Structure 1
Amino acid sequence: MKRYLLLLLTIVALAACKSKKKPGRGADEPMTFEDFQELFTPGTLPYKLNADTLQLKQADSLAVDVADVSRFLTDTLLKGDYGKTEKVKLFPLARIQGNLTNYMVIKAVGRTQSTGYLCILDKKGKYLNRLRIANTGSADGTVVSTSIDSKNVIKVSSEKKLSGSNTALKEDFYAVGKDGSVQLIMTNSNGPTTPGQIFNPIDTLPRKHKFSGDYTSGDMSLISIRDGEDGKTFQFFITFSKDNGNCKGELSGKGHYIAGNRGEFKDKESSCGIAFQFSAGRVTIREIGGCGAYRGIKCFFEGNYARKAEKKKKKV
């Protein structure tokens, strides 16, 4: 009797082990979204992903099926980075809860490069968009890394080796909307620039307020003011280059108007603050807090800027 009981317990145990087999990997039952997201390690903001992390080897058994990525996320994840016939392995890295959206980070490993992708999902798990955020080295030698701060601002850094030990660094800052839209809000670069040419990330925003416009002080210094969500707020972008380019600064954000012709910005992540004083055709700025994270150590966000005349649109 005991022999039959032992045999029965063994059969039940084997059946239980088989039932624990992960769906989507050869099991009879298809993988659910809950199963899929459990493959990703829970993470928190701030988050970083660089080329060194992408180069870490992972066991093939940890790879996720391309079919599952296509079903729960997108079938165009690799578009533009890998050929249709190239064999690419996908590894789930992290899942992160943001304020407006959630994120899933996936690593793609191909023949000559590894790439990191940030998949953006709504709070119910619906895929919205994706952003290429890291790479071990493209054809021109550019290495890409990223960081996401606690305010969900994504900074994608592209570093390219030049002659000798020189490198060119470009930093693109993105904001993510509730609908998954990705908007470039600022670009920093130590690469060569052409006098008189400044990339203004808020240039196309409305400028109906009486203080909205572009203010300059030399060829490479600009304060751009654009309309805010209401008449009490404004969007701004400041960039300057002093001392023949040896001291630079760049900052963007949302300020608010206070009594009279004044405005103010206070950074939630640091002690940095900027005071704006508007007058007829000019704006004067000064720091009201330490803004060293956004400029060189020997220069400040200060000075008097003259308003540029807005180009009149040609009548059709």
Structure 2
Amino acid sequence: MKRYLLLIMAIGVLAACKTKKNSGHGGDEPMTREEFRELFPVAALPYKLVSDSLQLKMADSLALDTADVNRFLTDTLTKGDFPKGEKVRLWPLQRMEGNPLDYMVVKAAGRSGTVAYLCFMEKKKGTFVRRIRVADAGRSGVYSSLQIDSRNVLKLSTEVQHGPVRDMQREDFYSVNPDGSTMLIMTNSANLSVPGQIFNPLDTLPRKHRFSADYTSGDMSLVSIRDGEDAKSFQFFITFSKDNGKCKGEVSGVGQYIAGNRGEFRDKETSCGISFQFSSGRVSIREIGGCGAYRGIKCFFEGNFVKKVEKKKKK
């Protein structure tokens, strides 16, 4: 009888060893990539992370093991955001399917502040590609938040504390490339702009192509053209304000040169399309698709813009 009892106990111990969940928190075996993924709650797009939510306390038992983060994400996740030697704890906030990459959101908290990172993950293998800081809980009076819409467009919002209130400074919209890099699509700026002047996010980019320049129509309307990755493409930024500010529009992206002096932009996520007609010192634009997502209801991306004379740099 004792022999049978010992045999049953031995089988039970073996079964327990085999079914024991691997963990980076002191487990007998290293955590697998899939187990690391399972630590992140699943969400569906659209997704929003506001700076105030980073202040909420999370259980210590949910914190990620640093060794697991180094192995499955990167050992430089918090580099540049915290003083060297500061102890930083990490928590898994969210996991989402995206396009062209998937997303993991990680909260990082130390003595000097709390931030969040958006990690881009390769879809098939689940390997780490790149990360960007997307939220800040008020270090130096600056608060930043993240939104990802159903089209995988990232919106990073920045606010600055002034006394008891926060002033919205700017909203930057980005698209995500397959290599994890991001491209600025559009910027809505508020207090960072000088009153009566336009903030141009393309201002410092190269303008070697013959059509690359700034074209204006009045004080608050601008078509900015800059060099693309090749001779057949161009980057652009369009902003306008009509009827004393009652109707505004702003859009940016990458267009293609076609047939001589013409260019065209087709938004991959909406029906928006814009035609560009270049001539000597001018550009004319008109909508060739509905661009209501980027402008007011009663106004359109259309009109003639005159090339702005570039100031010669002093030697």
Aligned to 1:277: 277
CA contact (8 A) 2:22 2:28 kept: no
Aligned to 1:287: 287
Q: How many residues align?
A: 312
Identity %: 60
**SS where residue 139 of structure 1 aligns?**
helix
5+ residue gaps in structure 2?
A: none
TM-score by length of 2: 0.80
Mean Cα displacement is larger for which, 301-310 or 241-250?
Answer: 241-250
**Offset of residue 131 of structure 1:** 0.7
Aligned to 2:235: 235
List aligned pairs for 1:118-267, cutoff 5 A: 118-123=118-123, 124-140=125-141, 142-162=142-162, 167-194=167-194, 195-196=196-197, 198-201=199-202, 203-205=204-206, 207-208=208-209, 210-228=210-228, 233-242=233-242, 247-257=247-257, 261-267=261-267
CA contact (8 A) 2:207 2:213 kept: no
5+ residue gaps in structure 1?
A: none
Mark the CA change 1:143 to 1:105 in structure 2 (over 3 Å): closer, same or farther.
same
- Residue identity opposite 2:89 in structure 1: K
**Offset of residue 74 of structure 1:** 2.3
Aligned to 2:15: 16
CA contact (8 A) 1:44 1:97 kept: yes
TM-score by length of 1: 0.80
C-alpha distance in 2, partners of 1:166/1:156? 16
Aligned to 2:25: 25
**Offset of residue 65 of structure 1:** 0.8
CA contact (8 A) 1:119 1:129 kept: yes
String of CA shifts for 1:54-108, please: whole Å, max 9, x gaps. 3444332221112221233223322343344544321112334444434321112
**Offset of residue 220 of structure 1:** 3.4
**Offset of residue 158 of structure 1:** 1.1
**SS where residue 79 of structure 1 aligns?**
coil
- Residue identity opposite 1:89 in structure 2: R
CA contact (8 A) 1:207 1:225 kept: no
**Offset of residue 134 of structure 1:** 1.3
C-alpha distance in 2, partners of 1:196/1:263? 27
**Offset of residue 257 of structure 1:** 4.6
**Offset of residue 237 of structure 1:** 1.0
Mark the CA change 1:221 to 1:6 in structure 2 (over 3 Å): closer, same or farther.
farther
String of CA shifts for 1:32-53, please: whole Å, max 9, x gaps. 3333223223444443322354
C-alpha distance in 2, partners of 1:245/1:287? 20
